[in-house]
Amino acid sequence: MGFTGGVNISSDLDALLHENRLFPPSADLMENSNIQEWMKRYGIKDYDELLQRALEDPDWFWDEVARELEWFQPYQDVLKWDPPHAEWFSRGKFNIAYNALDRHVQSWRKNKVAYIWEGELGQVKKLTYHDLYGKVNQMANALRGLGVGKGDRVAIYLPMILELPIAMLACAKIGAVHSVVFSGFWAKAFHERANDAEVKVAITVDGFYRRGKVIPLKENVDQVLDDIPSLEKLIVVRHAECPVEMKAGRDLWWDEVIRDQERECPAEVMDSEDPLFILYTSGTTGKPKGVVHVHGGYAVGIYTTLKMVFDLKDEDIWWCAADIGWITGHSYIVYAPLLMGATSVMYEGAPDYPEPDRMWQIIEEYGVSVLYTAPTTIRMFMKHGEKWPQKHDLTSLRLLGSVGEPINPEAWIWYHKHIGNRQCPIMDTWWQTETGMHLITPLPITSLKPGSTVKPFPTVEADVVDDEGRSVKEGGGHLVIKSPWPAMFRTLYHDPERYVDAYWSKFPGMYLSGDVARIDEDGYFWIQGREDDVLNVAGHRISTAEVESALVSYDAVAEAAVVGKPDPVKGEEICSFITLKEGFKPSPKMKHLLREHVRKEIGPIASPACVNFVNDLPKTRSGKIMRRVIKAKVKGDDVGDISTLANPEAVDELDNAV
Ligand code: 6R9
C-alpha cells in the first residue's frame, strides 16, 4: 500500500498499516467543518463531487472565495493563463495588509487578540487587531518617511518577535516588497540575498534568545552591511539589550523612528499582480532562488486553504510552530491567520527549551486548538518520550498539521496518539515556497492514511509522470501540477528565464515540483522526497525517505539520513547516518541489527552498506535534513554553501563518522 509498500513497520503499527486502515475524522468534526458548510451552500454532497466540480470550473470556485475579501476595485477576470504566466484577479485593486488589519478594526474583531506572543524567557505579550493596526501604521509611516515607496525592497532580518510581522505588514501596507531573511542564517546568506534584491532599507535586532543564549544579530550583520551598495538605512529593534555599535547617518533605533508617527496610514492601492514579497529558497545548485509572490492571488489562496484545511473558526487558538523566515510562517503565521481574523500563538524560542515539554506547556497554557508543526519536531519529541506530553492537558486540541517533509508512519501514529489523543485528524499538507499555499492535502472531511498527503486541494490538478511526461499508474515518478493556482509564484526575482527553465520547461504546461511521488489505487498521494534524494541502487529506484522510514521504525533510532555513495558496481550504495534515542549506544552489533532490520523491512537491496552513528544531522532551520552536505562529505567533495544550516557543528561530526 502506497509509500509504505514494503516498509513493514514493526510492533503495533504493522497490522494497522497493512490492513490499509483509514482514519476518518469524527462525524462531529466533519459535520461542523467550514468546508462542509461551504459545500452545503452550493449543494455539493461529498468530497468526490467537490473535487469534480472544482476541477470542471476553477473560476467559479476561486471567484466565490475571493469575494470574502475586500477589493478596492473588482477584478475583471478570475484567471488569465498563458502558461507559464498567470494573472489572477486581473485589474483588481487590492492590498493584503488592508485586508489583514483595516478590515477587522472596522468590525467587532477590533479588540480580538491577533497574537499571543511568548518569549523564550517566558515573557508574554498580547496584541489585539487594534494594537497591531496602530503599530503597523506607525512603521509604515516611518518607512514612507525614509523614502521607501511602492516597489522598493526592504530586507527584514528578525527573529520570532512581534516586530517581524509588524515590519512585513508595514511594507505591504505601503506597497514595498519585503524580503525576510531567516534569523538563523549566517550574515553571509543575508548579504547575498540583500544584494540580489537591492534593498533600500534593512531591519534587524540587537540580539535574540536561543536556548538561553543571546545571539548578537546586529554585531553579526555589521560585517557585511558596507558591502550592500543599495542600502541606505538600517533600523534596529531593541530586544536583548546587548551592546551594539550604531553607525551615524545609517543606523536608527526602531523605537525612535516610530515614536512620533501617526497610528493611521492609508493603504497603497495595489494591483492584484503587484509583488508582495521575495523569499529566497535554496536550489540544488547555484545561487538561491528569489521566489516572488503577489498581493491578490496569494491572499486568496492562503486564506482559503487555512479556512478549509485547518478549519479555523473565530473561537480557535491557532499555533503554526514554524519560523516566519520560512514560507510556512509567511503564509500561515502572518498573512492567512490575519486575513481570517484569527488568534495566533507566536513563540520566540526552541520548542524543547528549557525542558522537552515547552511546546505542550504552551498548548495547555493558551488552550491551543489547532497545531501545525513539522515531522522533524515530532521525531525529536518521540526521542524524549511520551512522558513529557503526558504532563499536560492537551484536550483543547482538535486538529493537527504536518509540513516540510514526508512524515514517517511511525511519527504520524505517535503524533496522533500522544498529542492528538487518538482524536485529532492530521492534515499532512504538501506544498512549497513556490506554491505559496497547500496544494496536496487532506481536508477535515477526508479519511487519512498515515504518511499520505491525500489528494489535491479543490481545483488543483496534480499528477505523477514518467520522464516523457506520461501519467504513471504504478510506482514513483515526477510530481507535477497541471493547472495554475492563485498563490503560485509569478517569477524568480531578477531571473525570469530560470523561472521557465527550472520549473516549466521539462514538461511544457506542467509545473515541475522537483519531488518524487506515487499515487495509490485510491488516488492518494505519497510524497517520497526530492528528486535528488532518490537513489539508484543496481538499477532500482529507492527513495531515501523509504529507507529512512524503515530505519526510524527500529526502536533505538531517533533520526536517520540516507545518501547514495557512488559505487562502480551498483551505481550507488546506501550510506546511512543515525542518531539514537536516549538509552541506546552505538555498537557493531547495533549496526548489524539495523542492516538486518532494513533487509527485512524493504529487502536486501535497500540494506545500507554503511551505518554511521552521529549526535546530530545537519539540518536547515526549517528542519530539513541537508542530504546535499552529507553526500558531499561521503564523496569527499567540498560541502559548498552551508550558510543556511541550523547546526554547522554537525558537519564536523560527519568527518569523524565518514
Ligand atoms: C512548505 C515547505 C518544499 C519541499 C517540498 C517537499 C517537502 C513539504 C511536505 C513535503 C512531504 C509534506 N515537503 N511538505 N514532503 N510531505 N507534507 O516546506 O516549503 O521549504 O519550499 O520545501 O518540502 O520535498 O518540495 P519549502
Query: pTM for this one?
Result: 0.88
| 308-336 pLDDT tens trace | 999 999 999 999 999 999 999 999 999 99
Walk me through the domains of the chain, giving residue ranges and CATH numbers.
538-656 (3.30.300.30)
Mean pLDDT, to the nearest integer, of 5-28?
Answer: 60
| 550-596 pLDDT tens trace | 899 899 999 999 998 887 777 788 999 999 988 899 999 999 999 99
Q: Whose CA is nearest to atom 10 of ligand 1?
A: 405
Provide the 3-class DSSP secondary structure of residue 130.
helix
When pLDDT is cut at 50, 70 and 90, the band that residue 541 belongs to is low
pLDDT for 539: 64
Contacts (Cβ under 8 Å, ≥6 apart) of 165: 115, 132, 324, 333, 334, 338, 346
On the question of pLDDT at 213 being above 70, the answer is yes
Given the CA of residue 620, which atom of ligand 1 is nearest to it? 20
On the question of pLDDT at 52 being above 70, the answer is yes
| 490-509 pLDDT tens trace | 999 999 999 999 999 999 99
CA of 447 to the centre of ligand 1 (A): 21
Q: Whose CA is nearest to atom 16 of ligand 1?
A: 406
CA of 91 to the centre of ligand 1 (A): 32
Does a cis peptide bond (omega within 30 degrees of 0) precede residue 354?
yes
Cell 523564550 appears where? 120
| Rounded Cα distance, 109 and 135, in Å | 17
Say if residues 276 and 177 touch (Cβ distance below 8 Å): yes
When pLDDT is cut at 50, 70 and 90, the band that residue 20 belongs to is low
pLDDT for 80: 98
Is 159 exposed, middle or buried, given 0-12, 13-18 or 19+ CB atoms closer than 10 A?
buried
pLDDT for 534: 73
Rounded to whole angstroms, what are the CA distances from 551 to 338, 519, 544, 591, 611? 40, 23, 11, 11, 10
Mean pLDDT of the chain: 92
Q: What percent of the chain has pLDDT over 90?
A: 77
The full DSSP string for 33-55 is -HHHHHHHHTT--SHHHHHHHHH
Question: C-alpha angle with apex 161: 156 to 163, nearest 5 degrees?
Answer: 55
On the question of pLDDT at 8 being above 50, the answer is no
Residues flanking ligand 1, CB < 6 Å: 281, 326-328, 402-406, 428-433, 453, 513-515, 527, 530, 622
pLDDT for 291: 97
CA of 432 to the centre of ligand 1 (A): 5
On the question of pLDDT at 625 being above 90, the answer is no
Pairwise pLDDT comparison (15 vs 450), residue with the higher score: 450
| 239-257 pLDDT tens trace | 999 999 999 999 999 999 9
Amino acid at 4: T
Given the CA of residue 428, which atom of ligand 1 is nearest to it? 17
| 76-119 pLDDT tens trace | 999 999 999 999 999 999 999 999 999 999 999 999 999 999 99
CA of 558 to the centre of ligand 1 (A): 21
ipTM score for this prediction: 1.00
Q: Whose CA is nearest to atom 26 of ligand 1?
A: 432
Query: How many residues are there in the chain?
Result: 658
Given the CA of residue 527, which atom of ligand 1 is nearest to it? 11
Pairwise pLDDT comparison (6 vs 406), residue with the higher score: 406
CA of 430 to the centre of ligand 1 (A): 6
pLDDT for 162: 98
pLDDT for 6: 29
Contacts (Cβ under 8 Å, ≥6 apart) of 345: 115, 116, 117, 118, 317, 318, 319, 362, 366, 368
pLDDT for 7: 31
Rounded to whole angstroms, what are the CA distances from 491 to 149, 281, 289, 303, 434? 21, 13, 10, 21, 9
Say if residues 515 and 525 touch (Cβ distance below 8 Å): no
Rounded to whole angstroms, what are the CA distances from 52 to 46, 55, 592? 10, 5, 50
| 247-295 pLDDT tens trace | 999 999 999 999 999 999 999 999 999 999 999 987 545 578 999 999 9
* R_g (Cα) of the chain, nearest Å: 24
Q: What percent of the chain has pLDDT over 70?
A: 96
On the question of pLDDT at 58 being above 90, the answer is yes
When pLDDT is cut at 50, 70 and 90, the band that residue 405 belongs to is confident
Sheet containing strand 153-156, edge to edge, reads 251-253, 233-237, 201-205, 153-156, 177-180, 275-281, 289-294, 491-492
Q: Whose CA is nearest to atom 6 of ligand 1?
A: 405
CA of 403 to the centre of ligand 1 (A): 6
CA of 402 to the centre of ligand 1 (A): 10
